[in-house]
C-alpha cells in the first residue's frame, strides 16, 4: 500500500476563504476529501487589511474543512497574492570545472544563484522557476547532466514580493495555531490545477480573475515565461455598478452575480431589470444595456492590460493552447466573448485535471487555486530530483520568512 499523505490548501481570498483537504497518492492521484469555505472579511485586493476579522474567517473555513473531511488540520499550504508580487526573468551562468562534463554540482551551483538576483530591498524571492538551460550558448537543453561543455547557463523566472506583506498573511494563519508549510503564489497554484504538460508545451495563459485581484501566468515551451498580479477583480465590477447605477454595494454584488453579463450584442436597449426592494433599499429599475456596458468596459480594459503585458514577452497568437480563464469572475456571462475579442485566440474555461472526490468541486473555478495548492504540495513531495532541490530552497526561504 502506497504511503498516502494528506495536504491542505488554504486561500485567503478577497471574497471568501477556502480550504481544501486532499489525499495525495503515490500514483499521482489526488483525492479530494473535503472543502471548507467561509465568506471573507477584512481582505481587500488579496491582502489582509483587518487582521482580526480575517483571522476569524480563516478559522471558520478551516473548521468547516475539518468537519467535512474528518481530518484534523495541523498545517496548510498557503496561497498568496497582491499587487506587490512581481516577476522577472534572469539568466545566470557557471563555468564548468575540470573535465567539462556537467554534473549535479553545476546544477546545484546554478540553482543556488538566487541570492545574486537584485531585488527591491523589501522583497524576497517566492519562486525561482527554471525555464531552460544553455550549454555553451546552445539553447533548449532540458537535462544537461552528462553533457560536455565549458559554460552552463540557465534562464530562471523569479517571482518575488514584499516580505512584510506576505508575512502578514502567514501570521494570520499561524495566529490560530496552524502551521504554514509553504507559501505559493496564486497563479503558480492555479496553473498546477489547470495545466498539463501538453498545454504548457504548446503555450498557454492562465488568467485567474478573483474577487480582489487578477493573477496570470504565461507558459511557453513548457516553461513559465511571465506571471503577475493586477489588483483588479470582481470587487471592481461591483464598485463600478455601485457608482454607475447608484445602488448599494451589497445590492450591486447580488446584481452582478444574478444578472451580470458582459454581452453587448443583441440587446434591445430597452430591457429593464427590476431590483426588488430590500431592507434599506427601495427598489429600482435598471437598464440591462447600462449594466452590461459597465461590466464590459471593466473586463475589456482588464484584458487589454493583460494583453499588453503578455505581448511584451511572447506573441499571443503563438500560444497554441490559447487562454484559460478561471477564478470567480470567469463565471460572469459573456466574459469569454470579451476575452476572445481582445486576445483574438481561443478562450477556454478551466477544468481541474486528474483529481477525484466530491465532483461538485472540480468545475468550480473558485477552487482552482486551492486545489492547485494541494497538487503543488504533492509535486513537491514527489521524488523529482531536479525539482526537489529547488523546493528545498523555496521552503528554506519560507522558513526564513517565518522567522524574521
Helix (H, G, I), strand (E, B) or coil at 334: coil
251 near other proteins (CB under 8 A): no
Interface with other proteins (CB under 8 A), residue from 119, 125, 145, 230: 230
119 near other proteins (CB under 8 A): no
- Look at the block and give the residue holding cell 477544468: 351
CB atoms within 10 A of CB 370: 34
- The 18-57 contact track toward other proteins, x by CB under 8 A, reads --------------------------xx---x--------
Q: What's the closest the beta carbon of residue 163 comes to other proteins, in angstroms?
A: 16
Of 214, 256, 247, 246, give the one whose Cα is nearest residue 231: 214
Interface with other proteins (CB under 8 A), residue from 305, 314, 331, 379: 305
- Look at the block and give the residue holding cell 506571471: 227
Q: What's the closest the beta carbon of residue 49 comes to other proteins, in angstroms?
A: 6
307 near other proteins (CB under 8 A): no
Closer of 49 and 384 to other proteins (Cβ): 49
Contact predicate 50/25, CB 8 Å: no
Residues 73 and 179: their CA atoms lie apart, in Å, by 9
Helix (H, G, I), strand (E, B) or coil at 175: coil
Contact predicate 158/194, CB 8 Å: no
242 near other proteins (CB under 8 A): yes
The stretches of 277-328 forming alpha helices (DSSP H) are 288-313
Residues 83-102 binding other proteins (CB under 8 A) are 83
- The 167-206 contact track toward other proteins, x by CB under 8 A, reads ----------------------------------------
289 near other proteins (CB under 8 A): yes
Interface with other proteins (CB under 8 A), residue from 187, 292, 330, 368: 292
Interface with other proteins (CB under 8 A), residue from 189, 294, 325, 373: 294
Q: What's the closest the beta carbon of residue 301 comes to other proteins, in angstroms?
A: 5
**Interface stretch with other proteins, choices 22-30, 103-111, 216-224, 295-303 (CB under 8 A):** 295-303
Contact predicate 186/64, CB 8 Å: no
Pairing of strands 323-326, 347-349: parallel
- Look at the block and give the residue holding cell 497518492: 25
300 near other proteins (CB under 8 A): yes
In angstroms, what is the C-alpha Rg of the chain? 22
297 near other proteins (CB under 8 A): yes
Residues 191 and 200: their CA atoms lie apart, in Å, by 9
**DSSP H or E run through 188:** helix 186-194
337 near other proteins (CB under 8 A): no
Contact predicate 325/1, CB 8 Å: no
Residues 136 and 95: their CA atoms lie apart, in Å, by 10
Backbone angles phi, psi at 81, to 5 degrees: -150, -170
264 near other proteins (CB under 8 A): yes
Q: What's the closest the beta carbon of residue 87 comes to other proteins, in angstroms?
A: 15
User: Residue numbers of the site for other proteins (CB under 8 A)?
Assistant: 44-45, 49, 83, 230-232, 235-236, 238-240, 242-246, 249, 264, 267, 269, 287, 289-290, 292-294, 297-298, 300-301, 305, 308
Amino acid at each position: 500500500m502506497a504511503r498516502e499523505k494528506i495536504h491542505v490548501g488554504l486561500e485567503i481570498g478577497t471574497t471568501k476563504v477556502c480550504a481544501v483537504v486532499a489525499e495525495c497518492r503515490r500514483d499521482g492521484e489526488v483525492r479530494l476529501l473535503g472543502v471548507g469555505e467561509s465568506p471573507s472579511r477584512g481582505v481587500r485586493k488579496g491582502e489582509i487589511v483587518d487582521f482580526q476579522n480575517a483571522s476569524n474567517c480563516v478559522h471558520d473555513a478551516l473548521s468547516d474543512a475539518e468537519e467535512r473531511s474528518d481530518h484534523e488540520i495541523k498545517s496548510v499550504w498557503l496561497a498568496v497574492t497582491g499587487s506587490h508580487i512581481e516577476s522577472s526573468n534572469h539568466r545566470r551562468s557557471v563555468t564548468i570545472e575540470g573535465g567539462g562534463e556537467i554534473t549535479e554540482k553545476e546544477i546545484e551551483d546554478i540553482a543556488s544563484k538566487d541570492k545574486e538576483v537584485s531585488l527591491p530591498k523589501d522583497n524576497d524571492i517566492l519562486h525561482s522557476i527554471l525555464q531552460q538551460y544553455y550549454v555553451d550558448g546552445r539553447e533548449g537543453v532540458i537535462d544537461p547532466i552528462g553533457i560536455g561543455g565549458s559554460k552552463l547557463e540557465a534562464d530562471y523566472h523569479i517571482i518575488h514580493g514584499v516580505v512584510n506583506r506576505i508575512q502578514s498573511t502567514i501570521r494570520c494563519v499561524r495566529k490560530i495555531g496552524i502551521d504554514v508549510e509553504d507559501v505559493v503564489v496564486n497563479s503558480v497554484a492555479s496553473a498546477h490545477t489547470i495545466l498539463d504538460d501538453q498545454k504548457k508545451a504548446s503555450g498557454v495563459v492562465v488568467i485567474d480573475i478573483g474577487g480582489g485581484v487578477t493573477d496570470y501566468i504565461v507558459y511557453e515551451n513548457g516553461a513559465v515565461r511571465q506571471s503577475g498580479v493586477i489588483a483588479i477583480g470582481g470587487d471592481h465590477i461591483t464598485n463600478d455598478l455601485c457608482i454607475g447605477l447608484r445602488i448599494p454595494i451589497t445590492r450591486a454584488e447580488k446584481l452582478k452575480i444574478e444578472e451580470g453579463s458582459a454581452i453587448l450584442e443583441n440587446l434591445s436597449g430597452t430591457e429593464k431589470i427590476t431590483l426588488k426592494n430590500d431592507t434599506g433599499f427601495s427598489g429600482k429599475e435598471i437598464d440591462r444595456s447600462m449594466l452590461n456596458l459597465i461590466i464590459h468596459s471593466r473586463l475589456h480594459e482588464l484584458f487589454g492590460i493583460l494583453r499588453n503585458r503578455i505581448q511584451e514577452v511572447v506573441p499571443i497568437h503563438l500560444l497554441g493552447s490559447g487562454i484559460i480563464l478561471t477564478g470567480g469572475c470567469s463565471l460572469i456571462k459573456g466574459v469569454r466573448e470579451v476575452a476572445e475579442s481582445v486576445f483574438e485566440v481561443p478562450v477556454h474555461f478551466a477544468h481541474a485535471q486528474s483529481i477525484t472526490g466530491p465532483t461538485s468541486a472540480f468545475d468550480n473555478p473558485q477552487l482552482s487555486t486551492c486545489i492547485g495548492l494541494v497538487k503543488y504540495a504533492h509535486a513537491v513531495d514527489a521524488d523529482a530530483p531536479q525539482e526537489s532541490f529547488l523546493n528545498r530552497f523555496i521552503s528554506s526561504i519560507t522558513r526564513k520568512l517565518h522567522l524574521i
